[in-house]
Amino acid sequence: MFSNKTTEVIDKKTECVEVKGKSLSLEAPKKFQLQEVTYRQPKKNEVRIALEGCGVCASSQPIWEGRPWFNYPVEDGNPGHEGWGFIDAVGPEVKNLEIGDRVTGMSFNSFAQYDYAPEQNLIKIPNFIKNKPFPGEPLGCVANIYTRSDIQKGQVIAIVGCGFLGLMLVQLAKSRGAKVIGVSRSESSLTEAKKEGADYLIKLDKTEDVVAKVKEITKDQLCDRVIECTGKENALNTAIEITGVKKKLIVAGFHQGGFRSVNMQMLNWRGIDMINAHEREIPVYLEGIRMALDEIQKGNLKPFHLFTHRFSLQQADRAFKLMEERPEGFIKALLINKKAEDV
């Protein structure tokens, strides 16, 4: 919980002070330790955020599991990068944000009660999201992938991997008037994809079986767009196989752990445009978050029921273990500091 001093800063907008708070340190693979940290005043163009919570991202799973190239302990609060919360202190040169603003954006040590970010890395969370958890970074990723996919009405779109990212893309593709094929290994994910509007469901198993079913659905034309959301080599090659001639394959999955062997012959022969939909410029991330907010307000994007599991900071290892095992019904976990529940 937050200290009384912090609450006073937020409520009364008093002078910026140092505060004590808790932060997670990944001491070794699969071993988070919660420790007390002193949080300094923000630098001249920074703000300090009293975090409500932080999403748990699948891209962080390898560093939690352990790989030879990672060094431990990891920096306090890292790899948390899906945080949101209230500004409780501002630097002297901050112009457009103030104490009490609810914000999200790009900060990178958010497995904690507090984090810092430059003013230009953040956006205000509008009032229509009040009392709802809002990890802006993954929702910005969804919106940017959607933009890069260039989905048009009447197209056949396959979403390969129906986790949080894939399910959000099912929603957006349907809002554009596309026919959507959900492809996943998980039965519960396929069930959820149907709820989100998918027109067809295919079990992600043998590539030849997936291809045969897509050909049946499309009358041998294959897909106009295929969005790969798994980060796995086999699924990527399946995605290539179901992409039509002169159509687009969008790589949305985060591929870690070295090289991928892909069917380059098929990519060449069909003239497939292979698009890496990962952004690296912070202004583009922020624009994606704004787009996501717009789609939420329109009713095209409905993420909140997909935050299926919530944990405290003390339970971080449990959250990662659940993400590793991915039991039926799991979609996305949040680490929550402060009550941020749907109303």
Are residue 320 and residue 268 in the same domain, yes or no? no
Is pLDDT at 13 greater than 90 in this prediction?
no
283 assigned to some structural domain: no
User: What are 267-324's pLDDT values in tens digits?
Assistant: 999 999 999 999 999 999 999 999 999 999 999 999 999 999 999 999 999 999 999 9
Predicted local confidence at residue 97, as pLDDT: 98
Token pair 């796995």 is found at 232
Intra-chain end-to-end CA distance of the chain, in Å: 21
Tens of pLDDT, residue by residue over 73-121, are 999 999 999 999 999 999 999 999 999 999 999 999 999 999 999 999 9
User: What is the DSSP code (8-state) at residue 55?
Assistant: E
Segment (H or E) for 106? none
- What single-letter DSSP state applies at residue 175? H
| Tokens 């445009």, located at residue | 273
Q: Does the pLDDT value for residue 9 go beyond 90?
A: no
Same domain, 64 and 9: yes
In angstroms, the CA 157 to CA 269 distance is: 20
Extract the tokens encoding 272.
Answer: 């497939």
Is residue 289, in this structure, part of any structural domain at all?
no
- Residue 232 CA to residue 214 CA, distance in Å, equals 20
Radius of gyration, alpha carbons of the chain: 21
Q: Are 116 and 168 found together in one domain?
A: no
- Phi–psi pair at 223, nearest 5 degrees: -100, 145
What digits encode the pLDDT tens for the residues 325-340? 999 999 999 999 964 4
In a shared domain, residues 183 and 247? yes
Residues 268, 155, single domain; the answer is yes
CA distance 272 to 110: 39
Q: Read off the DSSP letter of residue 251.
A: E
| Residues 225 and 106 grouped into a single domain | no
Number of domains the chain is built from: 2
Tokens, residue 298:
């329109």
In-domain check, residue 132:
no
Confidence (pLDDT) at 75: 96
Query: Is residue 90 within 8 Å of residue 47, measured between CB atoms?
Result: yes
115 and 40 fall within a common domain:
yes
Give the rounded percent of residues in the chain with a pLDDT score beyond 90. 92
Query: Nearest CA to 187 among 168, 214, 173, 205?
Result: 205
Q: Is residue 290 included in any domain, yes or no?
A: no
Number of H helices, E strands in the chain: 10, 15
If you count them, how many residues does the chain have? 343
Report yes or no: 289 and 296 within 8 Å, Cβ to Cβ.
no
> Which residues are within 8 A (CB) of 143 and not within 5 positions of it... i.e. 6 or more apart?
172, 288, 289, 291, 292, 295, 301
- pLDDT higher than 90, residue 140: yes
Q: How far apart are CA 48 and CA 112, in angstroms?
A: 12
Q: Are residues 146 and 263 in the same domain?
A: yes
Domain that holds residue 318: 4-125+304-336
Residues 24/316, Cβ–Cβ less than 8 Å: yes
Q: Which of 336, 341, 311 is nearest to 2 (CA)?
A: 336
CA gap 334, 313 in Å, rounded: 10
Give me the CATH number covering residue 214.
3.40.50.720
Within 13 Å, how many C-alpha atoms sit on residue 280's CB side?
A: 2
- The pLDDT assigned to 258 comes to 85
Whether residues 118 and 234 share a domain: the answer is no
98 and 215 both lie in a single domain:
no
In a domain, 26, yes or no: yes
d(CA 183, CA 206): 12
Q: How confident is the model at residue 17 (pLDDT cuts 50, 70, 90)?
A: confident
What's the rounded Cα separation, in Å, for the pair 148 and 150? 6
Token pair, residue 245, equals 């001639």
CA atoms within 13 A on the CB side of 53: 24
Burial of 168-180, coded b for 16+ CB within 10 Å and e otherwise, reads bbbbbbbbbebbb
Contact 189, 162 (CB under 8 A): yes
- Give the tens place of pLDDT for each residue, 194-208: 999 999 999 999 999
Helices 136-149 & 282-298 angle (0-180, nearest 10)? 90
62 and 21 belong to one structural domain? yes
Whichever domain contains 102, its CATH number is: 3.90.180.10
Read off the DSSP letter of residue 305: G
